[in-house]
Amino acid sequence: MIKNLGNAIKEINSNADFTCEEDNLDNIVWLNGTTPIAKADIETKIAELDTADETAKQAKIDLKASAK
C-alpha cells in the first residue's frame, strides 16, 4: 500500500480523475480523459511527499523537546 499515492497524483495534476485499487501504481485507471501520469513521475512525487511528512514529524518532536 502506498501512503501518498492519491496525494502525489493530485499534486502533479489537481484535476486528475482516477481510481486505484489497493493503492497500487499498476492498478490506476485514468477516467474522463485524464492524461495518464508516468509511473516514474508518481514515484518521485510520492518520495517527496514521504520526505516532507517525515520532516514535519521530526519538527514536531524537536519543538516538543525544545519546549521542555
Summarised one tens digit per residue, pLDDT across range 21-50 is 888 899 999 999 999 999 999 999 999 999
pTM of the full structure: 0.79
What percent of the chain has pLDDT above 90?
63
* Contact call for residues 22 and 1 (beta carbons, < 8 A): yes
